[in-house]
């Protein structure tokens, strides 16, 4: 099974964690360990990609930053690409980059459609659709698990919630796949912005349709809902649809692909899942920790503050690296072991604090449906070609995973 080489040791001040190639081509586990032990709050100097920023790598420090929205705001952006280029144009309008009272009011409005009770019908549809996709993949024998199975499961669920017609979903897959990364090299800035703008335009048009004729979907909710006594602006509606589709599709897809890849690498864990020695719920949490599909969550300091043994100035960019926190040996026993029975499992894959992932329940349901289908329908899963990793400094995962699937005999 192909694995990526670790990054060669070198001076930390030459590190460029904003480089998509670094994440695509290397196993950064040893680097995260080095940062946690030698420089848990590390200053990465300015590079050609933008200004310097603080690298926060320990679990406890990440929890502290993400839990303090007053000292560390998301309103200037929450991903490196926007933080390094001056901020997020959706700040103060999109849930992910809004803090304080506006964030609480908007999040409260969106909690209902993402609640377990409201998602009953969607989750049942996810189970049926996932089983059908895995059955079809097993019948074919060899598939690209990323494109033929995993890409469709979270997309179907989130498009059902947003009311995106089935005929438009292939278009949405293409746009989301290129909006935050690239499958074949360093992301092209023009192509990336074109994809993001394409998504914004799509949801702008969909919002206008729902304004004229509302349905029972999240877009219609945003169009008709009042927040703090006022309707949402058209820009707020569009930005939040964009945020929901990006958060609900890409990260779960990469967790699914990475989960199967890990199971193929760890025969003992595959057998533990197959035999029922581990629960699906426990397996889901370990897949989320192991894959950590969103590498980081960024903030900006609002005031001067001592943090760890460093002095962070107001306006400094502070980036918490969830991928490192999820391997912190002070929190996880044997963090570099893939262990589906791990408990407790206080992973940070859904972030932490006020911006804890709104779609966590749905993502867990989707992963559970996939693991159950693989357990029931697949006897053996093996590689049918080398995987390809996405080129991104924010998303972590495989854009292609060719696999050979042997069916489980009755």
For the chain, the structural domain boundaries read: 12-407
Residue owning tokens 């993001």: 196
Least confident interval from 165-169, 282-286, 321-325, 353-357: 165-169
State which fold the 12-407 domain adopts.
Cytochrome p450 (1.10.630)
Q: Tell me, what's the pLDDT at 185?
A: 53
Inform me whether the pLDDT recorded for 173 exceeds 80. no
Inform me whether the pLDDT recorded for 240 exceeds 60. yes
Q: Return mean pLDDT, the chain.
A: 92
Inform me whether the pLDDT recorded for 121 exceeds 70. yes
Inform me whether the pLDDT recorded for 92 exceeds 60. yes
Asked whether the whole model's pTM tops 0.85, one would answer: yes
Tokens standing for residue 185: 């090299």
Between vectors from CA 255 to CA 132 and to CA 38, what angle results, nearest 5°? 170
Inform me whether the pLDDT recorded for 270 exceeds 60. yes
Q: Tell me, what's the pLDDT at 277?
A: 97
């Amino acid at each position: 099974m192909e694995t990526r080489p670790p990054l060669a040791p070198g001076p930390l001040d030459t590190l460029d964690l904003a480089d998509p190639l670094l994440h695509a081509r290397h196993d950064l586990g040893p680097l995260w360990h080095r940062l946690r032990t030698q420089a848990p709050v590390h200053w990465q100097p300015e590079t050609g990609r933008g200004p310097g920023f603080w690298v926060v790598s320990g679990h406890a420090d990440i929890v502290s930053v993400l839990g303090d929205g007053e000292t560390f705001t998301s309103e200037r952006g929450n991903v490196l690409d926007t933080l390094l280029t001056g901020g997020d144009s959706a700040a103060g309008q999109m849930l992910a980059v809004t803090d304080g009272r506006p964030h609480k009011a908007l999040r409260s409005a969106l909690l209902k459609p993402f609640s377990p009770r409201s998602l009953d019908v969607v989750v049942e549809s996810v189970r049926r659709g996932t089983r059908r996709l895995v059955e079809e993949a097993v019948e074919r024998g060899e598939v690209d698990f990323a494109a033929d199975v995993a890409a469709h499961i979270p997309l179907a669920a989130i498009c059902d919630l947003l009311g995106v017609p089935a005929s438009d979903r292939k278009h949405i897959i293409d746009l989301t796949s290129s909006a935050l990364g690239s499958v074949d090299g360093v992301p092209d800035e023009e192509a990336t912005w074109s994809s993001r703008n394409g998504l914004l335009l799509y949801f702008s048009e969909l919002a206008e349709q729902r304004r004229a004729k509302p349905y029972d979907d999240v877009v219609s909710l945003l169009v008709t809902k009042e927040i703090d006594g006022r309707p949402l602006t058209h820009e707020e509606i569009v930005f939040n649809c964009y945020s929901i589709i990006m958060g609900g599709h890409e990260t779960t897809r990469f967790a699914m692909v990475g989960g199967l890849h890990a199971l193929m690498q760890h025969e003992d864990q595959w057998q533990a899942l197959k035999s029922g020695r581990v629960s699906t719920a426990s397996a889901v949490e370990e897949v989320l920790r192991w894959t950590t599909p969103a590498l980081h969550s960024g903030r900006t300091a609002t005031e001067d503050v001592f943090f760890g043994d460093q002095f962070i100035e107001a306006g400094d960019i502070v980036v918490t690296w969830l991928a490192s926190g999820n391997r912190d040996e002070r929190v996880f026993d044997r963090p570099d072991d893939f262990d589906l029975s791990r408990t407790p499992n206080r992973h940070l894959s859904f972030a932490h604090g006020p911006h804890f992932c709104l779609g966590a329940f749905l993502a867990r349901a989707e992963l559970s449906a996939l693991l159950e289908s693989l357990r029931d329908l697949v006897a053996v899963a093996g590689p049918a070609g080398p995987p390809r990793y996405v080129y991104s400094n924010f998303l972590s995962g495989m854009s292609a995973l060719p696999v050979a699937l042997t069916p489980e005999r009755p």
